[in-house]
């Protein structure tokens, strides 16, 4: 019963509201444990017996609203329950873990799981609309002026973005008379002219490009993920997990339109541009949360590169990078929240000595940095190895190395908070984080190492894809990684840190009107591109 994973957290949230006069946090955590166990059972069932379907009515297949758990969606749902369980445990003793917060967080979990399971396009639209409201409220939950502004920008931009999706769904329904993605894919094979679906394709891909924050539709993400007053768990779930719903829908929509439209080359180039732009913007930031937010833009670009490279190993490497990114970005956002609470600032220039004052958090940050930069033995190295192995074209390899060099540079800047001496007087330092929170962040950091050391095994367990990591090539990648660290140190200290260019571009962002204009321009561009290739 796949729908139990969708309604389970929502029902738990409703129960917590009904008994709001009592402390329901233990009940919520217990519900999360049940969710994790059940998602694990579904995952094992999929790996053992194949794809699982739930038909929500007695209507014929293709017409009935359907939930589907296959090898990809079952992994994403399992990842969702793991991340939410860890975040709930992290927030257990926090002041912001109120009944209202718990309810909203649980509803968001149910919506994310439904987006991973559903095959019905109208269901996807509804879930995205509701999720937009829930996320906006979570961003604004502390009711501070900047948070309210960021939340409203997120809300209006995404509501307009999903309007493109609704129009595309309507046009596709008029053409095929169907809403189920699998049935639509079969119907599109029978079309006399593929150009009949150019507009719905462009509209729906515009929405997904907004949801994944590719260039030029990225401006909402730093505001939403880097909101100063938002609880760390909100930033962690948005950057580590929620943005993956856009990636997942891109996979499904691309497969749906594949019989008539293949636009992999376009999104491959967009992925490259996004990744390079993301690391430049991350490098220009001094706010600890904004560095991580723009890092997400860059890493999503890398995932898009792998998905659209046209190589089997790169495709599965990109999917493994989704899992890896969820782990190390959630870890880094939680750790950043702890550091902010301890130092009272988000400016990395004002933070030093984290590793000495907060050793568990400091080690988790090191694990996260090694993961995202692709250090040997950490999960990012496996996924980046697979993406890189997907193409031997010199320009592609050069581009991937440039992206990783940029990633290493901005995380070298980030890592300056770990070392040095904390010069604040003892009486000005707030009480340290509770041991449970630090331990949970450290455990999440340990998962980054564990899924790297056992990378090929993890790939086989999660996706059933067997990848052979050649020791000589892996050693070469490690050697290149060491050279990149040396080059990154030299470039950052010798060139970038002494120039004023990064300071000038650090505040570059699109206004609301510019975001809407870029969305319209992106739609026209995609429609024009598809028209000329067909």
Residue 14 CA, distance from chain mean position: 27
- pLDDT at residue 491, rounded to an integer: 80
The whole-number average pLDDT for the span 407-434 is: 75
Q: Which tokens belong to 220?
A: 């909402």
Per-position DSSP letters for 12-30, written without gaps between them: HHHHHHHTTTS--HHHHHH
DSSP state of 258: T
Lowest mean pLDDT among 144-148, 259-263, 305-309: 144-148
**100 vs 112: which has the higher pLDDT:** 112
Q: Which tokens belong to 332?
A: 């880094």
Q: 336-395 pLDDT, tens per residue?
A: 888 888 887 888 888 888 888 888 888 999 999 999 998 888 888 888 888 988 887 888
Residues 6+ away with beta carbon under 8 Å from 458: 320, 323, 379, 382, 451
Q: 208-237 pLDDT, tens per residue?
A: 999 998 888 888 888 777 777 778 888 888
- pLDDT at residue 428, rounded to an integer: 58
- pLDDT at residue 375, rounded to an integer: 87
Lowest mean pLDDT among 106-110, 373-377, 507-511: 507-511
- The Cβ of residue 41 has, within 10 Å, a number of other Cβ atoms equal to 12
Query: Is the separation of the CB atoms in 71 and 464 below 8 Å?
Result: yes
Distance CA 102, CA 91 (A): 10
Instruction: Name the pLDDT band for 424 (thresholds 50, 70, 90).
Output: low
The rounded mean pLDDT for the chain is 86
| Strand, helix or coil for residue 68 | strand
- pLDDT at residue 253, rounded to an integer: 93
- pLDDT at residue 144, rounded to an integer: 79
- pLDDT at residue 40, rounded to an integer: 95
| Strand, helix or coil for residue 388 | helix
pLDDT > 90? residue 95 = no
Q: How far is CA 88 from CA 85, 190, 218, 251, 444, in A?
A: 5, 48, 28, 29, 13
The whole-number average pLDDT for the span 135-147 is: 83
**251 vs 195: which has the higher pLDDT:** 251
Residue with the two structure tokens 């367990």: 461
- pLDDT at residue 57, rounded to an integer: 72
pTM for the model stands at 0.92
**21 vs 491: which has the higher pLDDT:** 491
pLDDT > 70? residue 48 = yes
Locate all alpha helices (DSSP H) within 373-429, ordered by sequence.
Answer: 379-389, 394-414
Query: Is the separation of the CB atoms in 321 and 302 below 8 Å?
Result: yes
pLDDT > 70? residue 432 = no
Terminal-residue alpha carbon distance, the chain: 42
Distance CA 202, CA 320 (A): 27
Q: 473-501 pLDDT, tens per residue?
A: 667 777 888 888 888 888 877 666 665 66
pLDDT > 60? residue 404 = yes
- pLDDT at residue 388, rounded to an integer: 86
pLDDT > 60? residue 287 = yes
- pLDDT at residue 508, rounded to an integer: 66
| Strand, helix or coil for residue 127 | helix
Instruction: Name the pLDDT band for 433 (thresholds 50, 70, 90).
Output: low
Per-position DSSP letters for 318-341, written without gaps between them: HHHHHHHHHHHHHHHHHHHHHHHH
């Amino acid at each position: 019963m796949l729908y139990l994973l969708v309604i389970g957290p929502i029902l738990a949230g409703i129960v917590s509201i009904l008994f709001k006069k009592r402390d329901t946090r233990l009940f919520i955590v217990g519900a999360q444990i049940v969710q994790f166990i059940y998602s694990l059972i579904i995952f094992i069932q999929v790996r053992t017996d194949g794809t699982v379907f739930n038909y929500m009515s007695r209507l014929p297949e293709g017409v009935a609203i359907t939930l589907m758990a296959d090898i990809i969606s079952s992994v994403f749902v399992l990842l969702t329950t793991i991340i939410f369980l860890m975040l709930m445990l992290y927030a257990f003793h926090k002041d912001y873990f109120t009944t209202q917060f718990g309810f909203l967080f649980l509803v968001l979990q149910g919506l994310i799981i439904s987006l991973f399971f559903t095959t019905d396009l109208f269901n996807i639209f509804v879930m995205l609309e509701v999720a937009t409201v829930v996320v906006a409220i979570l961003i604004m939950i502390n009711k501070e002026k900047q948070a309210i502004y960021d939340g409203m920008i997120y809300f209006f931009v995404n509501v307009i973005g999903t309007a493109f999706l609704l129009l595309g769904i309507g046009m596709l329904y008029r053409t095929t008379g169907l809403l189920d993605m699998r049935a639509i894919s079969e119907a599109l094979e029978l079309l006399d002219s593929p150009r009949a679906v150019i507009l719905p394709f462009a509209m729906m891909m515009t929405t997904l490009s907004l949801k994944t924050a590719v260039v030029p539709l990225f401006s909402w993400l730093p505001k939403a993920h880097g909101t100063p007053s938002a609880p760390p768990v909100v930033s962690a779930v948005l950057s580590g997990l929620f943005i993956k719903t856009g990636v997942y829908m891109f996979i499904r929509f691309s497969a749906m339109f594949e019989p008539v439209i293949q636009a992999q080359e376009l999104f491959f180039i967009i992925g490259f541009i996004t990744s390079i732009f993301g690391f430049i913007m991350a490098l220009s930031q001094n706010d600890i949360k904004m560095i991580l937010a723009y890092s997400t833009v860059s890493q999503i670009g890398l995932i898009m590169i792998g998905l659209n490279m046209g190589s089997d190993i790169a495709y599965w490497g990109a999917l493994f990078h989704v899992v890896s990114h969820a782990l190390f970005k959630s870890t880094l956002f939680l750790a950043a929240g702890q550091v902010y609470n301890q130092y009272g600032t988000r400016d990395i220039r004002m933070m030093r000595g984290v590793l000495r004052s907060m050793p568990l958090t400091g080690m988790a940050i090191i694990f996260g940095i090694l993961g995202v930069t692709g250090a040997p033995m950490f999960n990012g190295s496996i996924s980046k190895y697979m993406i890189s192995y997907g193409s031997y074209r010199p320009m592609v390899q050069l581009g991937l190395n440039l992206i990783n060099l940029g990633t290493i540079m901005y995380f070298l800047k980030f890592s300056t908070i770990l070392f040095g001496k904390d010069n604040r007087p003892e009486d000005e330092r707030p009480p340290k984080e509770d041991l449970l929170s630090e331990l949970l962040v450290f455990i999440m950091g340990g998962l980054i190492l564990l899924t790297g050391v056992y990378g090929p095994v993890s790939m086989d367990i999660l996706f059933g894809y067997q990848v052979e990591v050649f020791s000589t090539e892996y050693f070469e990648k490690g050697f290149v990684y060491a050279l990149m660290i040396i080059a990154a140190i030299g470039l950052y200290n010798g060139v970038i840190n002494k120039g004023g260019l990064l300071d000038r571009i650090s505040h570059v962002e699109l206004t609301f009107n510019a975001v809407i204009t870029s969305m319209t321009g992106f739609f026209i561009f995609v429609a024009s591109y598809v028209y000329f290739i067909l």
